Amino acid sequence: MCMSGVVILHDDMWEMNLLQLISALHLFMCVVRCEDEEDIVDGAEENEGEETKPKIKPGFVPGLAPPKIPEGEKVDFDDIHRKRMEKDLTELQTLIEAHFEKRKKEEEELLNLTDRIEKRRSERAEQMKIRAERERERQNKLNEEKARKEEEEAKKKADDDARKKLILSNLSFTGYKQTQTGTKRQTEREKKRKILNDRRKELNIDHLKEDKLREKAKELWDWMRQLEAEKYELQYKYMKQKYEITVLRNRVSDHQKVSKGSRSKRGLRK
């Protein structure tokens, strides 16, 4: 708006100067016309009289005479003046039309420039908004990832501490049992612990992708099924051995009862 105001003010000043120029031009033309009329009258009087030495007017260069008008012809000064005025008016109209055409073109260029600036400003604001949204999402993801890693580290540390405490308690209990049961029981417990440690597998899945996690889950599932099958077989073997031990104990007990009864009968006979 400020630029358009400056352009309008400049155009108004130009129009005022143009009007002043037109007034000065008309005044100058009137002066020229009066001087031409005086020159023409003087020239006519000199042609009618005797040929004498031309008079030199102040302000004119010697040796230059005003143009002579042929005899028998009448000069129409009004027509000359009218033609000059029409010519000046035509030139003035041409200048005015060119001026307004230029002004119209400048206003159109100014409007186009303003539209481009507004459009660019809107696009820039939209780009800044999208960039801020993406930056906010990136920061949220970073914070979530950081919180997840901290939680995993805390959980891992807690598991490590619990494992260390369990190992220490097992070591203490193992030492106590070693002092109580002797070398044989100690050897059996160490074998059992070794077997458990061999079968216990640590999970390291933080770096695995989805397909690898699926394979790992299937592997763990197969391994668990195998352990369940082995557990069932051991339980069955344990129950079978327990049953056999119970049967043997009953047989031994019956045999002892029979032996004791026969002994008592022998004593009575004696």
Quick one: pLDDT at residue 115?
92
Task: Give the least confident one: 1-15, 165-179, 213-227.
Answer: 1-15
Domain assignment present for residue 201? The answer is no
For residue 46, which amino acid is it? E
Q: What are phi and psi of 47, to 5 degrees?
A: -70, -35
Q: Is the pLDDT of residue 192 over 90?
A: no
Q: Is the pLDDT of residue 8 over 50?
A: no
Q: Is the pLDDT of residue 51 over 50?
A: no
Q: Per-residue pLDDT averaged across 59-70, rounded? A: 48
Domain containing residue 31 = 2-47+65-127
Q: Per-residue pLDDT averaged across 178-193, rounded? A: 67
- Whether 29 contacts 89, CB under 8 Å: no
C-alpha dist (Å) from residue 172 to 159, 161, 164, 186: 20, 16, 12, 13
Domain assignment present for residue 137? The answer is no
- Whether 56 contacts 62, CB under 8 Å: yes
Quick one: pLDDT at residue 217?
84
Distance CA 1, CA 167 (A): 83
- Sorted by sequence, the CB contacts under 8 Å of residue 199 that are 6+ apart come out as 227
With b for 16 or more beta-carbon neighbours within 10 A and e for fewer, the 90-122 pattern comes to eeeeeeeeeeeeeeeeeeeeeeeeeeeeeeeee
Q: What is the pTM of this model?
A: 0.28
For residue 217, which amino acid is it? A
Domain assignment present for residue 6? The answer is yes
Domain assignment present for residue 202? The answer is no
How deeply is 66 buried, as exposed, middle or buried, from its count of CB atoms within 10 A (0-12, 13-18, 19+)?
middle
- Sorted by sequence, the CB contacts under 8 Å of residue 65 that are 6+ apart come out as 43, 54
- Whether 161 contacts 138, CB under 8 Å: no
Domain assignment present for residue 26? The answer is yes
Confidence of residue 32 (pLDDT cuts 50, 70, 90): low
Task: Give the least confident one: 97-106, 127-136, 213-222.
Answer: 213-222
Domain assignment present for residue 15? The answer is yes
Number of domains in the chain: 1
Quick one: pLDDT at residue 19?
61
Q: Which residue has the higher pLDDT, 242 or 198?
A: 242
Q: Is the pLDDT of residue 197 over 70?
A: yes
Chain Cα centroid distance, residue 128: 7
Domain assignment present for residue 119? The answer is yes
Domain assignment present for residue 260? The answer is no
Sign of the four-CA dihedral 121, 122, 127, 130:
positive
- Whether 33 contacts 77, CB under 8 Å: yes
Distance CA 119, CA 138 (A): 28
